[in-house]
Amino acid sequence: MDITRTREETPIETWTVHCDGAWQNEGVGIAAILDSPSGAKIRYAARLSFDQSTPSTNNNTEYEALLLGLRKMKALGHQNCVIKTYSKVITDHIEKESEARKPKLIQYLETVRSMEKHFKGFTIVHIPHAQNDEADRLAKAVARKQQLPPDVFFEEICTPSTKQKRESRINAIFSEDWRAPIMAYLRGDYEPTDEAEEKRLSQRARGYIISQGELYKSGVVTPWLKCITVAQGIELLREIHAGT
């Protein structure tokens, strides 16, 4: 085995993502906690608000939690991670230890496979429930509609990750709002037409996240900066110069 490394090659840092979903009487919540190699932690949570025609199940919810983690890793531009989950079913599907048979689970598995192109590699590991306690508690808090800590980035998901929004793709291309293509890309609503555009948009979207429907410029240490439209920026400058 050749273990030499060229000077151009640099080690790829591996992030760890703990994800979990929770069913409660009040609703369904999911959580993804991203741990950087340096020890920094970023916590994401979402409430699933699917309509009655698309009911959630336990396995669907676990897939949604996993996909939330993958989307955030993609948005931050990190291409190598280990996914840790309590769901043995999901782990076996992805690791090809068992076959997804239900149509909905097949769709979720295909959605995960479609995310693989954004990573140099990711591994999924089944862990005991006790080792996933933080993600579990956060998912339950979201499901119960409890107040979340200020460092948690929360969003509401109204459409399953397996469904794509073609209308959003078209709007993203022709919109005058500079944020629209980035937000569409991060949500998975807009797929570039060729490799060059994929690379350009991937680099452009790196470092951005979506929280509660708003776009933010992210950083592990620096504050999160809310992104606004050009028109909003001009209006803000006017207010500053006017002293209002």
Please tell me whether residues 110 and 212 are part of one structural domain. no
The answer as to whether 108 is a domain residue is yes
Minimal CA–CA distance to 219: which of 83, 75, 68? 75
pLDDT values of the chain reduced to their tens digit, one per residue, 244 residues = 333 333 344 456 799 999 999 988 889 999 999 999 888 899 999 999 986 455 557 899 999 999 999 999 888 888 899 999 999 999 999 999 999 989 999 999 999 999 888 888 889 999 999 999 999 999 999 999 999 988 899 999 988 998 754 333 333 334 457 788 888 878 776 666 677 777 787 888 888 878 777 788 876 555 677 787 777 666 666 654 554 4
Say how many domains are in the chain. Answer: 2
For the beta carbon of residue 130, count every other beta carbon within 10 angstroms: 8
Residue 129 in any domain: the answer is yes
- What is the pLDDT at residue 145? 92
Q: How many helices (H) and strands (E) does the chain have?
A: 8, 9
Integer Cα distance of 163 and 161 in angstroms: 5
CATH code, domain with 46: 3.30.420.10
The domain boundary residue, chosen from 162, 181, 199:
162
Question: Could you give the 3-state DSSP secondary structure of residue 153?
Answer: strand
Question: Quick check: is 218 in a domain?
Answer: yes
Based on the fold, state whether residues 177 and 214 are members of the same structural domain.
yes
What pTM, to 2 d.p., does this model score? Answer: 0.66
Q: Which domain holds residue 82?
A: 12-162
Residue 231 lies in a domain: yes
What pLDDT, on the 0 to 100 scale, is given for residue 20? 96
CA distance 59 to 176: 39
At residue 12, the pLDDT reads 64
User: Is residue 50 within 8 Å of residue 161, measured between CB atoms?
Assistant: no
Compute the distance between CA of residue 34 and CA of residue 164 in angstroms, rounded to an integer.
25
| Sheet with 208-211, side-by-side order of all strands | 208-211, 214-217, 225-226
pLDDT of residue 81: 92
d(CA 144, CA 60): 18
- What does the angle CA 139 – CA 140 – CA 146 come to, to the nearest 5 degrees? 105
Residue 2 lies in a domain: no
CA distance 137 to 148: 11
Question: What pLDDT is stored for residue 2 in this prediction?
Answer: 39
Out of 162, 196, 213, a domain closes at: 162
pLDDT at 188: 72
Same domain flag for 109 and 198? no
Q: According to DSSP H, which parts of the chain are helical?
A: 58-76, 88-94, 103-115, 133-143, 166-174, 179-187, 195-205, 230-242
Residue 192 sits in the same domain as residue 230: yes
Q: Is residue 138 part of a domain?
A: yes
The CA distance from 148 to 138, in Å, is 8
Q: Looking at 109, 131, 162, which one is the last position of a domain?
A: 162
Q: Do 37 and 127 fall within a single domain?
A: yes
- Does 4 reside within a domain? no
Pair (221, 147) in one structural domain: no
What is the 3 state secondary structure string of 34-55? EECCCCCEEEEEEEECCCCCCC
Do residues 41 and 154 both lie within one domain?
Answer: yes
The verdict on 126 and 177 lying in the same domain is: no
Asked if residue 181 and residue 123 are part of one domain, the reply reads no
- Indicate the DSSP class of residue 93: H
CA pair distance 33, 132, nearest whole angstrom = 10
Tell whether 34 and 88 lie within a shared domain.
yes
**Residue 76 DSSP symbol:** H
Q: What are phi and psi of 108, to 5 degrees?
A: -65, -40
Same domain as 138, residue 71 = yes
Domain annotation covers residue 213: yes
Beta bridge partners of 180: none
The length of the chain in residues reads: 244
Same domain? 240 vs 158: no
Query: Is-contact 117 160, C-beta < 8 A?
Result: no
What pLDDT was estimated at residue 186?
80
